[in-house]
């Protein structure tokens, strides 16, 4: 009996780390700020045929409408209720997207904003995407409902009520993140309302959740919410399948809160991955691609089976979040393709590809003062559709990195080599490297300013390099 119980617990925990993608599909894409109708089309016409396993979507629940600045991207991270209506679409469109994507084997992962509600200065009224009334000053959100009793004001010990010291664990988890009203997640009522929202999405057919701002919640509170979640919808998932969980935990080292604090709940976002890979690809601080031989845990990352990895995300491509100037984005297309290609070729972690929109950057004293700008929109604030050009790229200022030929092909490469070991590393001691993935694939990267002068004699993808320069080494 004891052994049987242990197996049940292990099975439950593992389900939180399993991305629930179909067999042979190994990556998801973040279609940041896309409309639900466009995601449904993209699942059918492009993602499924090219081997993408799923889509991370922007938060689907009602948020405050901010007009100063004009409807920024971050208003999506200021909830007013858990109703399903945003500028991405209404509940009918959301349900249609989930059904159509699931039907072609592309699953949906929701960005779940459950740490807080809107900002303390958001005012009172019905300026929200579903028209629900709220009063931020009195912490009244009748559409949930939440009242002042459901927030952490009494627990926060900082002078301002906001987080002032990231070395104070209680402040980070009990005080307001940039004035956002911090929910009292130790209360079972609040946990139940959050779980009710997430279970509603599970019933519709989503496959998992990105837990936004997980670092700002106590791990045991997150666990208590996850323990209330249902199994996934058996129409598209095997009976007993648990939702995939990946938690946003910014841990670059130097702070007391660690990504490992959250391993009991699911995977964590490994922010060091993109920051360090960007430094290497940019050749900053003397870094070289030759040093990537032990990439992964050897670089101080979390264990591979606990990591969700990415080159950039919606925050740090704007200088927010973590990683700083080393982060590579679509603004540096050649280096970006190399970094994403390396990520998709290497076996470490579960990979997420970014798909962005373009905005008019304007740097003042080294800072982009337009980093707030929301998705391509019409004069009435509605989001523009994602149009597809004749060459399969996107229009209307949608970047669609996932459609870039090199990135799409590497998504397919990762699917083909899935489960194969990292093998046969070669480098020239500088920025030319090559490696295999068992007997299924072999890839070469050249980030030097001169061509590779080698020939690989292939026998069952176990290569031997013949190079003219004596400075080249083969391992």
**Catalytic residue set:** 212, 248
* Separation CA 400–CA 126 (nearest Å): 34
Q: Which of 470, 340, 356, 351 is nearest to 407 (CA)?
A: 340
> Count of CB atoms within 10 A of residue 168's CB?
16
Q: What CA–CA distances, in Å, run from 353 to 17, 292, 339?
A: 18, 20, 11
Phi and psi angles of residue 377, each rounded to the nearest 5 degrees, phi first: -140, 160
Q: What is the enclosing helix (H) or strand (E) of 277?
A: helix 271-281
Phi and psi angles of residue 78, each rounded to the nearest 5 degrees, phi first: -130, 85
* Separation CA 349–CA 414 (nearest Å): 12
* Separation CA 447–CA 128 (nearest Å): 48
* Separation CA 200–CA 71 (nearest Å): 27
* Separation CA 257–CA 251 (nearest Å): 7
Torsion sign over Cα 308, 313, 314, 319: positive
* Separation CA 331–CA 429 (nearest Å): 28
Token pair recorded at residue 446: 């050249």
* Separation CA 209–CA 202 (nearest Å): 10
Token pair recorded at residue 182: 């911090």
Phi and psi angles of residue 226, each rounded to the nearest 5 degrees, phi first: -60, -35
Helix spans in 110-215 (H)? 169-174, 188-204
Torsion sign over Cα 354, 426, 306, 206: positive
């Amino acid at each position: 009996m004891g052994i049987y119980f242990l197996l049940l617990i292990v099975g439950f925990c593992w389900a939180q780390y399993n991305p629930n993608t179909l067999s042979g599909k190994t990556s998801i894409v973040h279609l940041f700020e896309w409309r639900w109708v466009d995601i449904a089309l993209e699942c059918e016409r492009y993602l499924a045929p090219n081997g993408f396993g799923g889509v991370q979507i922007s938060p689907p629940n009602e948020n405050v409408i901010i007009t100063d600045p004009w409807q920024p991207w971050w208003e999506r991270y200021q909830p007013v209720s858990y109703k399903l209506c945003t500028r991405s679409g209404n509940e009918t469109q959301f349900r249609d997207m989930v059904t159509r994507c699931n039907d072609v084997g592309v699953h949906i992962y929701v960005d779940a904003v459950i740490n807080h509600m809107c900002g303390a200065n958001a005012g009172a009224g019905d300026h929200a995407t579903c028209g629900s009334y709220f009063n931020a000053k009195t912490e009244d959100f009748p559409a949930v409902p939440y009242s002042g009793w459901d927030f952490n004001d009494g627990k926060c010990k900082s002078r301002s009520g906001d987080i002032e010291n990231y070395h104070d664990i209680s402040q980070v988890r009990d005080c307001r993140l940039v004035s956002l009203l911090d929910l009292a997640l130790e209360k079972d009522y609040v946990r139940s309302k959050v779980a009710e929202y997430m279970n509603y999405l599970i019933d519709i057919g989503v496959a998992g959740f990105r837990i936004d701002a997980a670092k700002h919640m106590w791990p045991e509170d997150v666990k208590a919410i996850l323990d209330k979640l249902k199994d996934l919808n058996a129409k598209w998932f095997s009976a007993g399948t648990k939702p995939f969980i990946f938690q946003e935990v910014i841990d670059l080292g130097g702070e007391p809160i660690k990504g490992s604090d959250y391993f009991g709940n699911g995977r964590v976002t490994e922010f060091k991955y993109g920051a360090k890979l960007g430094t290497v690809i940019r050749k900053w601080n003397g870094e070289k691609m030759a040093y990537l031989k032990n990439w992964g845990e050897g670089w101080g990352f979390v264990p591979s089976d606990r990591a969700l990895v990415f080159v950039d995300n919606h925050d740090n491509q704007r200088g927010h979040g973590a990683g700083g100037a080393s982060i590579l984005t679509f603004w540096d297309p050649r280096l970006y393709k190399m970094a994403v290609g390396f990520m998709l070729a290497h076996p470490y972690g579960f990979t997420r590809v970014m798909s962005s929109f373009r905005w008019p950057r304007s740097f003042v004293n080294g800072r982009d003062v337009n980093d707030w700008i929301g998705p391509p929109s019409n004069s009435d604030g509605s989001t523009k559709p994602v149009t597809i050009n004749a060459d399969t790229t996107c229009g209307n200022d949608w970047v669609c990195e996932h459609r870039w030929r090199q990135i799409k092909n590497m998504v397919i490469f990762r699917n083909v080599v899935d489960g194969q070991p990292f093998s046969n590393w070669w480098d020239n001691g500088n920025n030319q490297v090559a490696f295999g993935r068992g007997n299924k694939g072999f890839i070469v990267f050249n980030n030097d300013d001169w061509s590779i002068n080698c020939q690989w004699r292939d026998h069952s993808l176990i290569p031997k390099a013949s190079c003219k320069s004596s400075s080249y080494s083969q391992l």
